[in-house]
Structure 1
Amino acid sequence: MNGDEEFFDAVTGFDSDNSSGEFSEASQRASGVADVDTRKSHGVGKAGEGPPQENGVQKHRTRLPAPTFTRSDFSLWGILKKCVGLELSKITMPVAFNEPLSFLQRLTEYMEHTALLHSAACQPRALERMQCVAAFAVSAVASQWERTGKPFNPLLGETYELVREDLGFRFISEQVSHHPPISAFYAEGLRQDFLFHGSIYPKLKFWGKSVEAEPRGTITLELLRHGEAYTWTNPTCCVHNVIIGKLWIEQYGTVEILNHRTGDKCVLHFKPRGLFGRELHRVEGHIQDKSKKKLFVIYGKWTECLWGVDPAEYEAFRRQERRGEPLRTAPSDAGSEQADGDAGDTVPEAPDAVQVIPGSKLLWRVNSRPPNSAQMYNFTSFTVTLNELQPGMEQTLAPTDCRLRPDIRSMENGDMDLASQEKERLEEKQRAARRERAKGDAEWRTRWFRQGRNPHTGAPDWLYAGGYFERDFSGCPDIY
């Protein structure tokens, strides 16, 4: 197979409210997340029906049309054994190892806890705003817990839009480059309180027993009312036991969130597993001002919750711990914003539990997953809704939207043979289009994003060019 015929199916799936999460769960209840939708084809009603409503709010489905596909008959080792230490950018993976989402839809999962951004925009002090932004950055990776299937690699020119009036945002993404695979996204608050954008292109490597995704690309958040911009890069994600054993995921590395207006910085350390797994899922860090003075300490788990406390309280607690003194801790499931200093008992918690330091403030708690999540690729309630097609939506979406992609739709419906056939067909169609462009010496032109420089870091970036939500889809490529 020559270079023109290769189809690069990068395994990008391994990644690349109030603060307690009550707003988000309440919004899901209001939008009908508790109501089961078992209609198989697209999860939509009968022809001619409008989008389902409850109390004037659009309802969303709560389950997938078909259960998680079992991969027991496939050998990943046969595919990856020659790739140890190499970047996985030229390895075509069988559809059996996918989950029924495009990577563009996976990116949209950043927005599950959008209420944290609305909260940040309302905070009067820069320190409180940074607390909300730090919680949002951690919450953005929470949906990856136990998600071991890889999303479909987007086709060049593929797009995805999501408008959630109940959560107060709209989102658009586009696959702007095929090799290397680069996904650009842009979101804005419907309250005109924030902009959230960036471009993601993780570098993946196979190490014999694990697949590691090293992050690439800058994430930018702008709080419009305060004239502030924050930038950061995601932690490294690693999927273990990809050949044999139970798959499990960890995030590790240091994430630095910079407030470009004040110079404040939040430094978050995503801990690797450590001896006996004591550090698995843990996050620790602090907020400092531009003179590097610690203003606030943050700790918790990216799979569960995030707390913050005054540095003096934190140091006093750690001194007690080092001296072996009995520790007074608040219950880790406390629902109040402040952990009562007299709460809890003197018995140390189990190694895998978050020890809540008295006086701590709850910054974020993960939304509970649906009870049947394990039968739906371990999706969250928010994720389950991402590929649904409401009645009449096909006529309003861009023709390049992921929801219209036939291989993903077939997999979601449980037809793996058709999903594999459609995937091969789409790959060949993309190869043919690339060959035609090469004959005419034509370059691919993106539709909704353009290359430029990040206005806050000066680094190369992909910037939203505008126009998508005006719904002029003339000139969109035929990719499906």
Structure 2
Amino acid sequence: MNSEEEFYDAETGLESDDSCEVSFKDALVFDNKQVTEGSASQENGVWERRKTLPAEMISRNNFSVWSILKKCIGMELSKIAMPVVFNEPLSFLQRISEYMEHTHLIHRACSLSDSIDRMQVVAAFAVSAVASQWERTGKPFNPLLGETYELTREDEGYRLISEQVSHHPPISAFHAQSLKQEFEFHGSIYPKLKFWGKSVEAEPKGTMTLELLKHKEAYTWINPMCCVHNIILGKLWIEQYGTVEIVNHSTGDKCVLNFKPCGMFGKELHKVEGYIQDKSKKKLRVIYGKWTECMYSVDPKVYETHKKSDKKTGGDTKKVKQELSCEGEELDEMPEVQETVTVIPGSALLWRITPRPAHSAQMYNFTSFAMTLNELEPGMTRLLPPTDCRLRPDIRAMENGDIDTASTEKERLEEKQRAARRERSKDEEEWSTRWFQLGTNPHTGAEDWLYTGGYFDRNYTHCPNIY
């Protein structure tokens, strides 16, 4: 077994309702983005991003993950080798960039004059950032040390750079910035995983920081816990749970979101509920919805009135104890989703998930956005550093449906990485990151990997040869 590879798969998915049939007649609309099939960057007529992958998803029917994981119950999955067939054709660095799929929410927050209105939309963005995990059961490729990924979206008004800054433990750092100096969004991610027999539990490590520059505001939060069920047998599915606190460090406002575990009968599956409070702890708005569908905001008094009315009509007759852990679970079947989001009259729609393409299930359950992430646009190769994910031969081979080449190349790259580490050890040389350095997050005071700048100067002469 290759002990050098980390199996970290903090980003996977779960099937939700096929429809989002909710009533919008009583809802105000915060999210006014027009969604079209395929890409949002087709208006200029210069470049139309692809709507499909070169090959369909590779079947995993003849492979058993149990043979690999059966000796790892209760352990942290930090050095577990997985066959390439369980991957999806993206690096974890590319998976991180999917946080930016709903960047229009950040632009919306930037345009609002009221801080509570901005907090509502930032909360919706924090939920939307994990929405692409829905049904994504493939494991992204572990980034090699020094690997990078650049995403520039002029149509959405931002550019992003990410780098694998550490191999043991695996840490990925990213920094996104507005092309018009409206915002910066950055963080470093180290998911800690444990295997519990039928499920994998992922504890998020790393703070998300969103800065709205015009308003001189900084928001921070940590993503929710997640649990991937039916690792051994049955249909893979995921639930996200735990409390996410979004803090506005400039005003003292806070949004507390509860990602609810599904419970014994699945009544709470996918649900997110919380509130916004000011620095005096007065509740100003209630936030509710599902991370797989949509999020709303409503006045707390209206919410409480609706809740009391719901109880009188038997809408909440049974309480179930909910444990925030996968450990010791009795049943692991995915509960049926009993309802979509019930909209309370007077609610404001904050966000609605972008519909996936009809062929998504044959394409690793990718969103339209994810479908474009490994694409090499015309003339791009000469602009990218040699460390960019798009140039990885194992990911490229898997995307093309060549599983044998993908497996061979993956093993070659891992051995090359080990050999490079042995050489550094022999020479007593420390690895030096290129675009990020370890420092202190100025808003939380915690240790964080911070972007040092210079990437977009396009001087890549000192980039390592990792492929």
TM-score, length basis structure 1: 0.87
* Change in CA separation of 1:416 and 1:398 when aligned onto 2, cut-off 3 Å: same
The match for 1:43 is none
- Equivalent pair of 1:13/1:152 in contact (CA under 8 Å): no
The match for 1:31 is 41
> Could you tell me how far apart the structure 1 residues matched to 2:36 and 2:405 are?
38
- 2:381 is paired with a residue of what secondary structure? helix
After TM superposition, list the pairs within 5 Å mapping 1:68-467 onto structure 2. Answer: 68-324=57-313, 351-467=338-454
Question: What amino acid is the match of 1:25?
Answer: V
- 2:214 is paired with a residue of what secondary structure? helix
Question: What amino acid is the match of 2:244?
Answer: V
Question: What amino acid is the match of 2:183?
Answer: F
Question: What amino acid is the match of 1:374?
Answer: A
Question: What amino acid is the match of 1:435?
Answer: R
Q: Give per-residue Cα distances to partners, 1:176-220, cap 9 Å, x unaligned.
A: 000100000000111211000000001001110001110000110
Match of 2:6 among 9, 31, 53: 9
Q: How many residues align?
A: 433
Per the TM alignment, residue 22 of structure 1 is displaced from its structure 2 partner at its CA by: 5.0
> Could you tell me how far apart the structure 1 residues matched to 2:234 and 2:454 are?
48
Q: Give per-residue Cα distances to partners, 1:300-343, cap 9 Å, x unaligned.
A: 0000000110001000001111122899xxxxxxxxxxxxxxxx
Question: What amino acid is the match of 2:261?
Answer: P
> Could you tell me how far apart the structure 2 residues matched to 1:371 and 1:123 are?
35
- Equivalent pair of 1:31/1:57 in contact (CA under 8 Å): no
Q: Give per-residue Cα distances to partners, 1:93-144, cap 9 Å, x unaligned.
A: 1101100000000000000000000010111000000011000000000000
Question: What amino acid is the match of 2:439?
Answer: G
Question: What amino acid is the match of 2:41?
Answer: S
Per the TM alignment, residue 9 of structure 1 is displaced from its structure 2 partner at its CA by: 2.3
Per the TM alignment, residue 395 of structure 1 is displaced from its structure 2 partner at its CA by: 1.1
> Could you tell me how far apart the structure 2 residues matched to 1:22 and 1:183 are?
32
> Could you tell me how far apart the structure 1 residues matched to 2:259 and 2:441 are?
26
Q: Give per-residue Cα distances to partners, 1:136-187, cap 9 Å, x unaligned.
A: 0000000000001110000000000000011111000000000100000000
- Equivalent pair of 1:156/1:175 in contact (CA under 8 Å): yes
- Equivalent pair of 1:24/1:112 in contact (CA under 8 Å): no
> Could you tell me how far apart the structure 2 residues matched to 1:68 and 1:222 are?
38
Per the TM alignment, residue 24 of structure 1 is displaced from its structure 2 partner at its CA by: 6.0
- Equivalent pair of 1:14/1:238 in contact (CA under 8 Å): no
Runs of at least 5 residues in structure 1 that lack an aligned partner in the other structure:
33-53, 328-349
Per the TM alignment, residue 355 of structure 1 is displaced from its structure 2 partner at its CA by: 0.9
* Change in CA separation of 1:13 and 1:94 when aligned onto 2, cut-off 3 Å: farther
* Change in CA separation of 1:30 and 1:139 when aligned onto 2, cut-off 3 Å: closer
Q: Give per-residue Cα distances to partners, 1:322-375, cap 9 Å, x unaligned.
A: 122899xxxxxxxxxxxxxxxxxxxxxx94221100000000000000000000
> Could you tell me how far apart the structure 1 residues matched to 2:461 and 2:37 are?
35
Q: Are residue 62 (structure 1) and residue 72 (structure 2) matched?
A: no
* Change in CA separation of 1:221 and 1:127 when aligned onto 2, cut-off 3 Å: same
- 2:433 is paired with a residue of what secondary structure? coil
Per the TM alignment, residue 477 of structure 1 is displaced from its structure 2 partner at its CA by: 0.3
> Could you tell me how far apart the structure 2 residues matched to 1:57 and 1:240 are?
43
> Could you tell me how far apart the structure 1 residues matched to 2:31 and 2:358 are?
18
- 1:14 is paired with a residue of what secondary structure? coil
* Change in CA separation of 1:19 and 1:214 when aligned onto 2, cut-off 3 Å: farther
* Change in CA separation of 1:24 and 1:240 when aligned onto 2, cut-off 3 Å: farther
- Equivalent pair of 1:13/1:151 in contact (CA under 8 Å): no
Question: What amino acid is the match of 1:287?
Answer: I
> Could you tell me how far apart the structure 2 residues matched to 1:8 and 1:423 are?
10
Q: Give per-residue Cα distances to partners, 1:61-94, cap 9 Å, x unaligned.
A: 0000000111111110010000001000010111
- Equivalent pair of 2:3/2:80 in contact (CA under 8 Å): no
The share of aligned pairs that are identical, in percent, is 68
- Equivalent pair of 1:15/1:202 in contact (CA under 8 Å): no
> Could you tell me how far apart the structure 2 residues matched to 1:114 and 1:93 are?
33
> Could you tell me how far apart the structure 1 residues matched to 2:135 and 2:378 are?
32
The match for 1:41 is none
Per the TM alignment, residue 276 of structure 1 is displaced from its structure 2 partner at its CA by: 1.6
- Equivalent pair of 2:10/2:226 in contact (CA under 8 Å): no
User: CA RMSD, aligned part only?
Assistant: 1.9
- 1:221 is paired with a residue of what secondary structure? strand
Per the TM alignment, residue 29 of structure 1 is displaced from its structure 2 partner at its CA by: 5.0
Question: What amino acid is the match of 2:247?
Answer: L
* Change in CA separation of 1:386 and 1:166 when aligned onto 2, cut-off 3 Å: same
- Equivalent pair of 2:38/2:357 in contact (CA under 8 Å): no
> Could you tell me how far apart the structure 2 residues matched to 1:411 and 1:320 are?
53
* Change in CA separation of 1:477 and 1:367 when aligned onto 2, cut-off 3 Å: same
The match for 1:47 is none
- 2:35 is paired with a residue of what secondary structure? helix
* Change in CA separation of 1:421 and 1:214 when aligned onto 2, cut-off 3 Å: same
- Equivalent pair of 1:27/1:167 in contact (CA under 8 Å): no
* Change in CA separation of 1:183 and 1:15 when aligned onto 2, cut-off 3 Å: farther
Question: What amino acid is the match of 1:360?
Answer: S
- Equivalent pair of 1:20/1:365 in contact (CA under 8 Å): no
Question: What amino acid is the match of 2:166?
Answer: S
